[in-house]
Amino acid sequence: MRDTADRLVITAEHREILGQVLDKWSVLVLEELCECPRRFNELRRLIPVTQKSLTATLRRLERSGIVQRVVVSDRPVAVEYRITPLGKTLRDPVDAILRWTEEHRHDIEQARARFDEDTPG
Amino acid sequence: MRDTADRLVITAEHREILGQVLDKWSVLVLEELCECPRRFNELRRLIPVTQKSLTATLRRLERSGIVQRVVVSDRPVAVEYRITPLGKTLRDPVDAILRWTEEHRHDIEQARARFDEDTPG
DNA sequence: CCGTATCCAGAGAGATACTG
DNA sequence: CAGTATCTCTCTGGATACGG
């Protein structure tokens, strides 16, 4: 959806999708699952997230078709989460953002130091 | 910061920067300011955001060196917000994400419809 | 015009306890 | 092991009113 100036028009729907997919923990979960499938508690060990939030994150990603929940065996229950083909298409753009934060971290720190110094209070 | 497998290692700092720069309104403000400098109330007309949230968003972006606040004249006060060179480097990666939401919107909708149908409750 | 100050409601996050 | 169920608490964010 672009206007005559070929400019991106951001709708509420775009924002909604972004909120679901690029939130605090989703990015971390995606990065992990792009490496290989992971179990629930395995993800918990890798990411400093509570059970509740991890469950919510996985459900949202599963609902949107980004990850897949696979029951591997019963007794004891084993569940594995895998990235889907749709989820894989997210990796490059997300990595681009992450690389940006990496490359410009110091610029940002310097800007903040300047701002905090200049700004009274 | 990559490990031996050349895998991105996401730190709390990455997440902090992402949270400041890719939040609900920042993306919209960035898109607008990449077009041309804008006044405060001009941005309000273009974006469905409250005064409070717009002020907060602009301050955060200004603090991190992404946008610049320029007082154009007094009496009546006129203030202009401009994208900085650092801010411009954000445009491509952010556009990549937005394009992703655009291209995969329908896949996501379908996945959600399936999920909601299959999931009792 | 460009904000700041204040209040208030709702979402999200942590801690904890419990279940198939 | 892989969750669900509460409860509490903070924090965001909208609405509103006021100020330089």
CATH code for the domain in which residue B32 is found: 1.10.10.10
**DSSP code at position A120:** -
Inform me whether the C-beta atom of residue B32 falls under 8 Å from chain A C-beta atoms: no
Domain annotation covers residue A102: no
For residue A55, pLDDT over 60 is answered with: yes
Domain annotation covers residue A100: no
Classify each residue of B3-17 as buried b or exposed e, where b means 16 or more C-beta atoms within 10 Å of its C-beta.
Answer: eeeeebebeeebbeb
Per the structure, how many domains does chain A have? 1
Domain annotation covers residue A111: no
Among the partner-chain residues B10, B62, B107, the one whose CB lies closest to the CB of A115 is: B62
Predicted confidence at residue B7, as pLDDT, reads 66
Domain annotation covers residue B42: yes
The pLDDT tens digits for B34-57 are 999 999 999 999 999 999 999 999
pLDDT band per the 50, 70, 90 thresholds, residue A75: confident
Sorted by sequence, the CB contacts under 8 Å of residue A24 that are 6+ apart come out as B15, B19
Across the interface, do B108 and A62 touch by the CB < 8 Å criterion?
no
Domain annotation covers residue A109: no
Domain annotation covers residue A94: no
Average pLDDT over residues A89-111: 94
Q: What is the mean pLDDT of chain B?
A: 90
Average pLDDT over residues B2-12: 65
Domain annotation covers residue A57: yes
Domain annotation covers residue A106: no
Provide the shortest C-alpha distance from residue A75 to chain B (in Å).
23
Whole-angstrom distance, CA of residue A73 vs CA of residue B82: 56
Question: Are residues B87 and B111 in contact, defined by beta-carbon separation less than 8 angstroms?
Answer: no
Question: What is the reported pTM?
Answer: 0.89
Alpha helices, H only, B8-120: 12-21, 26-35, 40-46, 51-63, 85-88, 91-103, 105-118
Nearest nucleotide (CA of A44 to C1'): D2
Q: Where on strand D do bases come within 7 A of a protein Cβ?
A: 1-6, 13-17, 20
* Domain of B68, in residue numbers: 8-89
